[in-house]
Amino acid sequence: MLSSAASDAAQGALNVVTDPCLFTVGQLLHRLNAAEQPSNAPTVATLGIGLCKVVPVIRAVVYLRERPWVAAAGIAGFLGLFVGIGYRIGQRRSAKP
């Protein structure tokens, strides 16, 4: 049982180390850490565990952490869309005889 657990752990570690996007994820996590702590801290196709699927999400989080105004602008645009739709619906209803 213990050797099975050790074998599973070794296989999991090997999967992480051989993932083709491990370096990119490491870079993005380093950028995220730097964005949260403003200090000068030192900074194969079928292999891996699927970190490539997470890279776009991490990139988006890093982008938002580095540029917090983007989230506010996005929320304002989203709400403005609904205000505009409500305005147009109100115009159409008031124009009907």
**16 in the same domain as 27:** yes
Output the pTM of the full model: 0.52
**89 in the same domain as 58:** no
User: Ramachandran region of residue 71, left (φ > 0), alpha (ψ -120 to 50) or beta?
Assistant: alpha
**86 in the same domain as 55:** no
What was the pLDDT predicted at 2?
57
pLDDT: is 91 or 83 the higher one? 83
Looking at the structure of the chain, the number of domains it has is: 2
| CA atoms 75, 77, 79, 81: torsion sign | negative
The type of residue at 26 is G
Q: Which domain holds residue 86?
A: 69-97
**14 in the same domain as 45:** yes
The highest-confidence range among 20-29, 31-40, 47-56, 74-83, by mean pLDDT, is 74-83
* 47 — pLDDT class (breaks 50, 70, 90): low
